[in-house]
Amino acid sequence: MVDETSEDSQGTLDYTFFLNETKPFNTTINFTVVGTAEYEENYSVSGYETFVGYEGTIVIDSDTIINFINKTNYR
């Protein structure tokens, strides 16, 4: 998945992580945020399991196929 937004834009971007089928165990997905914007100065991220620097993880629980994270831009 690739998505981008202008550093000067405002609003929330919703990213959806999903599996093609449910699994009997939790599934951890790694993600990376790239660009020149600074975390907590220009944007925030919510809905993740861990987020350090520009890298994070999200967990899709067992018997579930979908999870979300939100990215909110500041001006």
Question: pLDDT tens, 5-36?
Answer: 665 666 777 778 888 888 899 999 898 887 78
What integer best gives the mean pLDDT of the chain? 78
Residues 62-74: tens digit of each pLDDT = 888 877 777 666 6
Which pairs with CB-CB distance under 8 Å and at least 24 residues apart come from 55-58?
55/30, 55/31, 56/30, 56/31, 56/32, 57/28, 57/29, 57/30, 57/31, 58/17, 58/28, 58/29, 58/31
Is the pLDDT higher at 49 or at 67? 49
Cα torsion for 14, 17, 18, 19, to the nearest 10°? 170
Is 60 exceeded by the pLDDT of residue 45? yes
Q: Give yes or no for a contact between 27 and 19, defined as CB atoms under 8 angstroms apart.
A: yes
Task: Look up the pTM and report it.
Answer: 0.67
